[in-house]
Structure formats: structure tokens, C-alpha cells
Structure 1
Amino acid sequence: MSPRKDPIRFFFGRVWSAFIACIILNPIPYPFVKPLLMMFSILIADDHSIVRHGVQHLLKSFLPSVVISEAETFKKALSLLEQQRFDLAILDIHIPGGDNVAMISKLQAKQADLKVLIFSSYEERLYAMTFMQAGADGYLSKDASNQEFERAVKTILANHKYVSQHVKEESLHQVMSSGGTYTPAIQSLSKREREIAQLLLTGKSTSEIAILLNVHISTVSTHKSNLFEKLHIQNMLQLSSLFKVNQRDESE
């Protein structure tokens, strides 16, 4: 006589068998299984070793099987992309050899399907949408919590875009107030405002600019005030950084 089967163990055994069969025969309806079984390859491109170490530690806390490579310069990041395939590049804006939106197209020229998360200390509201429009899949401040970092990485690996709630709300406000289109702040400058900004960046004073443009000093001051307000900046350092980041290669 065969031993009596435990009904609870028998029930869960049948459920488990059915679950495994579903995964093997039809894995598509179970997207939550894929991250558990898939090994991701991620490139961390940042010139600060302590940041690379911290990011690596965070990644391994929620992606135990992740394969990680590091680059301390943009040139090395490009070189690594020539040698192997990556699912995601976590990129700092202020990396030697980079510093502008042209980095995105250069990375994706090496690997067309590469996902890019900008991870930067640069202020989100000034830079996030600029990099998103340039082709990045996400933008995250280095001030973000560990939980938000995990959420950003998982969102992008699941083929979605990621920006913080604050950036979403500000972008929506801009779209609503401009009649349904989003225009990066730097592109909203008038021709005269852009001209004055460029002259300011060469070190010219308001009085020197007034002489060059044959206008009153108060006119230059008004344009300067307006462009600072449009760009949400307070000083020349921010103006210089913003124009540098938005610079694209002439060959593009």
C-alpha cells in the first residue's frame, strides 16, 4: 500500500509544476520573471572612483547577477563599447572628454540599442529634458535616494523612460503654458538674448556689449535679466555650464 500523500504538499506541488510549465511554454505573459533570470551588463562612466564604487554597490544590491564595467573617461567608455555589448550606460555629464549632449549620439553610434541614464550633480530642472531630447533614457540627480536610483535603473531596463516627478511636473507646466509643445529653456531665447549671452560668455561687460550692439546699457541689462529668468539661473557660472552642455559637435 502506497503511503498517504500530504494534501497541502500535493496541492502546492501541482501549482509549482503548472507555474514552471507556463514559464517554459509561454514566457511572454510573465515579464516579472525575466529580470530574475536575465544577466544585465552595465557600464558606469564617471571620473570619481568613490561614485563608481557606490553605484556598483547599489546595482548589486538589487541586480545580484549584474556584470559591471567602469570607465573614468569618455574615451574609455567609447572603447569599452567597441569591445562588448551593454544593456545600460550610467553616465556623468562632467566626465573628461564629454561634457555635452553630443555624448549620447556618440555612445549610441557605437551601440544603437544602448540605454543611457544620466547620473549627475547638475540641477535636474536645467539639464534633464535637454539630455532626454538628445536621446538619453533617463536623468537622475546624484542627490536622489537609493530607492529612486533603483527605480530609475529598473524602469529603463524595462524599456521605459525615467525622470523625477519634479521634472515631469515642471515639463508638463511648460507644455501647458506654451500651447502644447515643449521647448528647452535655452531654445526659448530670442536671437538678441542669445547674442548677448554669447557676448557675456566671452567676458564682455554690459557697457561693452551696449557699445558693440549700439544700444543703451539698460537695454542690455534688461535682456540679460530676461535670459537669466528664462534659463532659471542666477550667475555667469551657470550660464557658461548650460551653454557648454548644450553644445553639439559641428559635424552632427
Structure 2
Amino acid sequence: MRQALVVDDHPIVRDAVRELLQNEFPSIVMKDSAGGEGIVHEICGSEWAFVVLDINFPKQNGIDVLKKVIARCPNIPIVMFSLFTDEQYAARALRAGAMAYISKDRSPQDLVEAVRGVLRGAPVRKVRKELRPILSDREVEVLTHFAKGMSRRDISKRLSISEKTVSTYKARLFHKLGLSTTVELIRYANDEGLIE
């Protein structure tokens, strides 16, 4: 029988999510864990239909846990679950390998739908498309030009804006997408289909 794991350090949240998912997916045995130092081993030590993983733990970061899990057992679908509603957390989680990201302020049905999508094998790219609205049209334009290898000077000429303004847009892109290098911007643009 297939099984799934809910990982959250708050017992009430963990129990409620496990019960919700058990009712929605009766053919999958739902287990739970409070996390802790051995969580990567616990996740990778079994075959899970999916794992719902909190992003914030007292002594560790859920994104770091996610990266370790993806490195050791990349075939386990992870749904990140968080109090954070800021899109940059979603972007970071999806870039790190999560199949979906749901904030805890969403409805229980949203979590169920995310899990259904993961069980169907919904591609990360489809989920990532939902993040595009966080960027303005001009930011997408600047991102696309950087991704095509254009310099700051070339972009400023193409868009008839100053190089300083291009730098400001680049800084906004880094902040909104949770990135820190131009290479990461290019990879993101490629994943989003912005590079033809």
C-alpha cells in the first residue's frame, strides 16, 4: 500500500493536514513527522507517494532540507507548505525542486488540489507559471534581455532607459525571484520559456 508523509513541527497542523489528506486519499496511508535532525534520512528511507514539508523548523530551514532530499532521493514528490505568503519563498522552493508550494493561509481544498496535481505528475513548470504575475511587464522584458546575453548597456539602449534603471530592474528581479546571480536569472528565464 502506498504511503505519504506530512512533516510539520506543530502537532495540531500536522494532525489536521494528515487527517484531511487521509480522508481525500483513502488508498494512501498518511504518516507524519515533527521533522528534526534525522528528517532527510526519514524521508529518503522510504518510498513515498508524496511528502508535504513545512518550510520553517526551529533549528533548520525547510528549503535546505528540500535540497538535501532532492539530492539524495530526487524521485520523491515534495509539496512545500508554509506560513510565508511571499512569492519569493514559493520561487525558492520550486527552484530547489518542490513540485508545488502552498501557503498555510490557503484553503484546505487548495492543498488537496496541489497534492492531486503532484500525484498526476504535474510538471514544476506549470506551477511556476503562476509566479509570473509577480513580475511587471518591464521586469519580464529586462529579464528576457539578460537571458539572451545582452549587457546592461545594450538593454538600456534597446529599452531607452538608463543603465542605472536597468540595474534597478535587475536588483528587483533578484529580490522578487530569490536569486543572486545573472546565471540564476538566465536559468529561471529558460525554465519559464522566455528564451526562444
Match of 2:134 among 153, 170, 173: 170
Distance 1:55 1:89, change over 3 A: same
Higher Rg of the two aligned structures: 1
Task: Tell me if structure 2 keeps the 8 A contact 1:47–1:73.
Answer: yes
For 1:147 and 1:168, locate their aligned partners in 2 and report how far apart those are by CA, in whole Å.
23
Partner deviation per Cα, 1:227-252 (whole Å, 9 max, x = no partner):
689736xxxxxxxxx89xxxxxxxxx
Q: Which TM-score applies when normalising by structure 1? A: 0.52
For 1:135 and 1:181, locate their aligned partners in 2 and report how far apart those are by CA, in whole Å.
26
Map of 2:16 onto structure 1: 54
Gaps of 5+ in 1: 1-38, 184-225, 233-241, 244-252
Map of 2:85 onto structure 1: 123
Match of 1:149 among 70, 87, 111: 111
For 2:93 and 2:145, locate their aligned partners in 1 and report how far apart those are by CA, in whole Å.
17
Distance 1:109 1:42, change over 3 A: same
Amino acid in the other structure paired with 1:169: P
Gaps of 5+ in 2: 148-169, 180-196
| Alpha-carbon offset, residue 42 of structure 1 | 1.1
Distance 1:168 1:63, change over 3 A: farther
Fraction of identical pairs, as percent: 24
Task: Tell me if structure 2 keeps the 8 A contact 1:45–1:74.
Answer: no
Amino acid in the other structure paired with 2:175: L
Corresponding residue SS for 2:38:
helix
Residues 1-252 of structure 1 mapped to structure 2, 5 A cutoff: 39-99=1-61, 101-160=63-122, 161=124, 163=127, 167-170=131-134, 173=137, 176-180=140-144, 231=175
Distance 1:228 1:182, change over 3 A: closer
Q: Calculate the aligned-residue CA RMSD, in Å.
A: 3.5
Task: Tell me if structure 2 keeps the 8 A contact 1:42–1:69.
Answer: yes
- Structure with the larger RCO, 1 or 2 (CA within 8 Å, 6+ apart): 2
Q: Which TM-score applies when normalising by structure 2? A: 0.65
| Alpha-carbon offset, residue 131 of structure 1 | 1.4
For 2:74 and 2:145, locate their aligned partners in 1 and report how far apart those are by CA, in whole Å.
27
Corresponding residue SS for 1:130:
helix
Task: Tell me if structure 2 keeps the 8 A contact 1:48–1:72.
Answer: yes
